[in-house]
């Protein structure tokens, strides 16, 4: 039995890719019936992540079609199962990269569901009941309460949606690797969807922030608009040389193949280079700088649910949101093409609630 504002919850409508062309079109489908611990919400906004681009084109070789992308979705609860404890009808909520895990391994016990070997991604995976998971380019979402994030009222839903992936992806390594300590010098490589919110989080934590970019024209944006303390044009050898051995840690958000050697040179002894971007080809890692400085190259992938809620609450406290371009659903294929070119400042967000209609 459920508390509901409507009787049927399993019919859904969205946009899906049918094959590796990655072209999206209207798609009717069904979600599972509401379980005792499930929350159903009407999706109002959904961000477009670079991962969505990889998935619709099957660039990682794991896509299942039809594929409804979207793992940065927010909306309003319309139905809950009778064992749901923390969410009520009318709450503002969101879902990020995952909707399930085994619940019993060491990672799950440590609130690190994101590293569970049986973690279930929000789209293009098989859920516990054997059905395909489908993302937020759709009108409704059904997810277990454990994987629902409560959105504080003070945060605008549209500009908050990208935090459910981009936000937690940079917040988690800043916290885990000790770069949240006031006075730490943190480098942020890349000023895109992840990089711009990384600057905001690091500054709110009290760090000195340097943006590192191959685009010299992003200097004003980094310093004047996002609040970075300094800017490094990584193709200027004099600038890079002057900044050698000055940073405690670097968050590398770049998904393109690039050289790690110059970044390692920017680190102090025992500094940390944390990879959160996902290049589709292996990168060259020079070992000598690691040995001579006892430096670390690490990776980090999204965050657990406890940490994700912590991140959203931190964002509300410090008024952190993503810079977005809101689009209608029928613009999504153009948006994906622009995303390939990096032509967005800094995250596309689909106005699902106002523009996704069955007649689309």
Taken in order 201, 204, 208, 211, the sign of the CA dihedral is: positive
Structure tokens at 24: 């999206």
Task: Give one word for 162, left, alpha or beta, with left for phi > 0 and alpha for psi -120 to 50.
Answer: alpha
Assess if residue 183 is contained within a domain. yes
User: Mean per-residue pLDDT for 96-116?
Assistant: 98
- What is the Cα Rg of the chain in Å? 20
Helix (H, G, I), strand (E, B) or coil at 73: strand
Residues 123 and 194 in one domain: no
Same domain, 132 and 246: no
CATH number of the domain to which 151 belongs: 3.90.180.10
Query: C-alpha 144: how far from its chain's center?
Result: 19
Instruction: Judge if 91 and 117 occupy the same domain.
Output: yes
Convert the pLDDT of each residue in 123-134 to its tens digit.
999 999 899 999
Which tens digits make up the pLDDT trace of 47-104? 999 999 999 999 889 999 999 999 999 999 999 999 999 999 999 999 999 999 999 9
Indicate whether 193 belongs to any domain.
Answer: yes
Instruction: Tell me the pLDDT tens digit for each residue of 315-327.
Output: 999 999 999 999 9
Is 316 part of any domain? no
Q: Tens digit of pLDDT for each residue in 247-292?
A: 999 999 998 999 999 999 999 999 999 999 988 889 999 999 999 9
Identify the band that residue 6 occupies on the pLDDT scale cut at 50, 70 and 90: very low
What is the average pLDDT across 209-220? 96
Residue 340, domain member (yes or no): yes
Reduce the DSSP state of residue 49 to 3 states and report it.
coil
Helix (H, G, I), strand (E, B) or coil at 188: strand
Both 23 and 149 in one domain: the answer is yes
Whether residues 54 and 194 share a domain: the answer is no
- pLDDT of amino acid 359: 61
Predicted confidence band of residue 10 (pLDDT cuts 50, 70, 90): confident
The answer to whether the bond into 66 is cis (omega within 30° of 0) is yes
pTM value is: 0.94
Does 40 lie in the same domain as 19? yes
**Together in a domain, 126 and 192:** no
Given a cut of 50, whether residue 356 has pLDDT beyond it is yes
CATH number of the domain that 202 lies in? 3.40.50.720
With respect to residue 76, please indicate whether it lies within any of the assigned structural domains. yes
* Tokens read off for 175: 């916290």
How much is the mean pLDDT over the chain?
95
Structural domain of residue 222, as residue ranges? 167-299
- Give the N- to C-terminal CA distance of the chain in Å, as an integer: 33
């Amino acid at each position: 039995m459920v508390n509901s504002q409507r009787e049927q919850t399993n019919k859904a409508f969205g946009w899906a890719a049918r094959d590796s062309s990655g072209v999206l079109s209207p798609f009717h489908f069904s979600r599972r019936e509401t379980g005792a611990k499930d929350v159903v919400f009407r999706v109002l906004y959904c961000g477009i992540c670079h991962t969505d681009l990889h998935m619709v084109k099957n660039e990682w070789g794991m896509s299942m079609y039809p594929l409804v992308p979207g793992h940065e979705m927010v909306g309003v609860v319309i139905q809950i199962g009778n064992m749901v404890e923390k969410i009520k009808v009318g709450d503002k909520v969101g879902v990020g990269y995952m909707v399930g895990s085994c619940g019993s391994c060491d990672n799950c016990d440590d609130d690190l569901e994101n590293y569970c070997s049986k973690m279930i991604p929000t789209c293009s995976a098989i859920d516990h009941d054997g059905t395909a998971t489908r993302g937020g380019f759709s009108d409704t979402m059904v997810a277990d309460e454990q994987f629902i994030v409560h959105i504080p009222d003070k945060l605008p839903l549209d500009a908050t949606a990208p935090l459910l992936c981009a936000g937690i992806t940079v917040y988690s390594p800043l916290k885990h690797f000790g770069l949240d300590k006031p006075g730490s010098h943190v480098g942020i490589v890349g000023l895109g969807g992840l990089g711009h919110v990384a600057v905001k989080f690091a500054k709110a934590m009290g760090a000195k922030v340097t943006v590192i970019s191959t685009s010299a024209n992003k200097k004003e944006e980094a310093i004047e608009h996002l609040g970075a303390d300094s800017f490094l044009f990584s193709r200027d050898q004099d600038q890079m040389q002057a900044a050698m051995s000055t940073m405690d840690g670097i968050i590398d958000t770049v998904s393109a193949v690039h050289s790690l050697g110059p970044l390692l040179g920017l680190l102090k002894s025992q500094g940390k280079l944390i990879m959160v971007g996902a290049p589709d080809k292996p990168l060259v890692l020079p070992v000598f700088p690691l040995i001579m400085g006892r430096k670390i190259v690490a990776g980090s992938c999204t965050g657990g649910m406890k940490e994700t809620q912590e991140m959203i609450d931190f964002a509300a406290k410090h008024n952190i949101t993503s810079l977005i371009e809101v689009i209608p659903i029928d613009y999504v294929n153009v948006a994906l093409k622009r995303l390939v070119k990096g032509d967005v400042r800094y995250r596309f967000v689909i106005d699902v609630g106002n523009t996704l209609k069955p007649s689309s």
